[in-house]
Amino acid sequence: MNKVTAAICILVLQCGAATYRFTETGFAGGATVKVAFSGTDINHDGQIASADGEVDALDVVFSGNTVVAPFALESADADYFELRYDLDGGPLGDGQTARCLANALECEGIIIRSADTGYSVGPGPAMPCDTGADCAAVSDGTAFDYSRTSLQPDSVSVPLFHPRSAFLLVLMFLFAAFGRKRIQ
């Protein structure tokens, strides 16, 4: 196989970003937070991190209650956002990995805020979520509400083919069929 064919094969095998969906309960009055984000573990370290340029989009929706008004935040419109998620398939905010214990900035969690609203979730190196300590906070600019639970995974969807991959696959077959020199 020549170098061009090999390069096309590698590009074809690249998948698009996966979409992760989570729900958090535990807020006053039964309010919930729904989180969806898409990203790819580009550096293959077992974690999707916005600091590494691996998050394409983040959407947060708070249902609202008598303490904090409902709101929706998108990373594209936020003043600031940070996301880290360990690709262990579990809740976001559930673990104390060796990486997290060594450096609190490596702990999984989310912070997203705009001028008036905000949401944060995640453990510290000494106190993981689901242990009785506040783990998440929502704010509408006038009040705060807290939850002591981690974000529970709802679903993960991974596209089988990125549109670019389908195009490159066709190119690879055309090259294989017509691009080789004939040996006589």
Q: What confidence tens digit (pLDDT) does each residue in 59-71 have?
A: 999 999 999 999 9
DSSP 156: E
Tell me which of 125 and 57 has the higher pLDDT.
57
CB atoms within 10 A of CB 14: 12
Q: What confidence tens digit (pLDDT) does each residue in 36-93 have?
A: 999 999 999 888 999 999 999 999 999 999 999 999 999 999 999 999 888 888 888 7
Q: What is the mean pLDDT of the chain?
A: 79
Distance in angstroms (rounded) separating the CA atoms of residues 127 and 166: 45
Residue 132 pLDDT level (bands cut at 50, 70, 90): confident
Distance in angstroms (rounded) separating the CA atoms of residues 135 and 41: 25
